[in-house]
Amino acid sequence: MSRIGKKPVSVPAGVQVSVDNSVVTVEGPKGKLSYTHRPEVQVAYDDASREVSVTAGTDRIASAYHGLTRSLIQNMVVGVVQGYEKRLEVVGVGYIVSLQGQTLSLRVGYANEVRKTVPEGLQVTCPDQTHVVIRGCDKQLVGRFAAEVRSVRKPEPYKGKGVRYEGEHVKIKPGKAAT
């Protein structure tokens, strides 16, 4: 049995949680999220104690989804209250990023600009030409879009040029002159 799955998810004030059959809906100041959980897992919301509890059977499949379901519900509650944020930085001479409406344009050393459409539910800002800030209430959506932008030009190991997460350490190789 999952130790994480046994913990109840506390729901802060200002957040509404509803459980209908296998759909959990969480609504708060930052937005509204819903999740359809697996039938092996049961989710219950206690309005008096403002806690969501997740229970599962004893078979292997149910215990595998026990902790996962609880973590996803916890991420939904945190997302609608605080939100999630990923910061990217672009390193390289002539590498720039700009935002035109709902399209993120990256000039990262290719012959043409790479354009990425911002998904619905995300706020993307460019404080300057070398930084991108991605915000949203859905942790999975924020992380996936940040990974898509980073995959346009991953940091290379010889000069470190490319798109990286802010604070990410890129190990630089010495190159052939060092041998």
Q: b/e map of 110-148 (b: 16 or more CB within 10 Å)?
A: eeeebebebbeebebebeeeeebebebbbbebbeebbee
> Is residue 2 over pLDDT 80?
no
CATH number at residue 59: 3.90.930.12
Final residue of a domain: which of 48, 81, 114?
81
* Segments forming the whole domain that contains residue 64: 3-81
Of 160, 178, 159, which is closest to residue 169 (Cα–Cα)? 160
Of the ranges 29-38, 103-112, 113-122, 168-177, which one carries the lowest mean pLDDT score?
A: 168-177
- The answer to whether residues 55 and 44 touch, using CB atoms and an 8 Å cutoff, is yes
Element (H, E) at 150: helix 139-150
Share of the chain above pLDDT 90, in %: 88
> Taking residues 10-36, what's their average pLDDT?
94
Q: What pLDDT, on the 0 to 100 scale, is given for residue 1?
A: 59
The three-class DSSP label of residue 127 is coil
Shared domain check, 37 and 108: no
Confidence category of residue 89, pLDDT binned at 50, 70, 90: very high
Confidence category of residue 141, pLDDT binned at 50, 70, 90: very high
Here the tokens at position 96 are 């720039």
Shared domain check, 62 and 18: yes
Final residue of a domain: which of 81, 100, 122?
81
Domain count, the chain: 2
> Is residue 28 over pLDDT 80?
yes
